[in-house]
Amino acid sequence: MTDTVTVTTPCPGVVVLQLNRPERLNALNSVMVGALAATLADVGTDTATRAVVLTGAGRGFCSGIDVRDFGDGMLEADAPALDRMRFQETMAALPRALRALPQPVVAAVNGPCVGAGLALCLAADIRICSTAASFGNAAILLGLSGAEMGMSYHLPRIVGTSVAADWMLTGRTVTAAEADRRGLVSELVDPEGLVDRAVELAALVAGLSPFGVQLTKRALQVNTDAASLDAALELENRNQVLSHATDEAAARRQTWT
C-alpha cells in the first residue's frame, strides 16, 4: 500500500483513512486512486472495523483530480470518447465503493473539498467539517458538466434540488457556514478538534451492534428512494425482525431491563 492513503486505528473498531498528498491539497492522482480503491476494498471485508473516518492531510480535504500531475492514465485532449468513458467510470467507482462499505463513514472535511473531493464527501453517511472548510463543484468552470461522480444523485438528496442546482450550475465556492446552514454537514467544528470529533462520532457507532448499524445504513440508502411509505415500512419491519433475533440484541435488551 502506498502512503498516498494512510490508515490508522485510533480506537477499537474505528479506522481513519487520510488522503495524503498535502502539497497538492490531496488532489487525486493515479497512485492515490488505486490506493484508495484498494484500501476501501480491504476495509469493507474487515469485520473488526465498525466505522470509518475519511479526512485529508494538511490544510485540504481533497481538491479534486490532479489534472497537472495525475500520472499514468491521464488522457490527452484528443483522446477517444471511449477512453474518456473508461476514465470517468474509474473515477466514479470511488464514491460508489465508499457508499457501498458496510460500515458507516464519517467524512471529516478539514479544508477545500472540490470536484472529486466533494463527490467523496457526498458518498459518506455523516459529514462534519471544520470552520476552515469550503466546498465547490469546479468541473462546470472548466466547460465540463457539473454532474459527475454521483454528485447529481447525492447532492439534491442531501440539500434539495434548488440548492444543488445553485451550487452545480454556478460552480461557486460554498463556505463552511453555508454548508452547515443548508444541511450538507451535520456539525461545524474548530479545525484543531475536527478529527477527534469525527473519531468520537465513529466510536459511538462502533460501540453499537454491527448488524443493527449496517441494516440502518442500508435502510437509509434504500428508503431515500422508496416508491412509497408502505415500501419503506416493509423494509423497516423486516430489518427490525431480523435484528431482534440476534444474540447481541438479546444481550443488549438485558441491560435495559
pLDDT 10s digits, 54-113 = 999 999 999 999 988 898 877 777 889 998 899 999 999 999 999 999 999 999 999 999
- CATH fold of 5-206 reads 2-enoyl-CoA Hydratase; Chain A, domain 1 (3.90.226)
Q: What does the pLDDT read at residue 76? A: 79
CB 40 within 8 A of CB 32: no
Taking the C-alpha atoms of residue 217 and residue 84, their distance in angstroms, rounded to an integer, is 33
C-alpha grid cell, residue 200? 468520537
% of the chain exceeding 70 in pLDDT:
98
- pLDDT at residue 1, rounded to an integer: 43
CA atoms within 13 A on the CB side of 119: 25
pLDDT band at 2 (very low <50, low <70, confident <90, very high): low
- C-beta atoms surrounding 31 within 10 Å: 17
Is the pTM of the predicted complex or chain greater than 0.85?
yes
CB burial readout 55-68, b (16+ within 10 A) else e: bbbbebbbbbbbee
Confidence class for position 249, pLDDT limits 50, 70, 90? confident
Where are the chain's structural domains?
A: 5-206, 210-255
pLDDT in tens, 165-223: 999 999 999 999 999 999 999 999 999 999 999 999 999 999 999 999 999 999 999 99
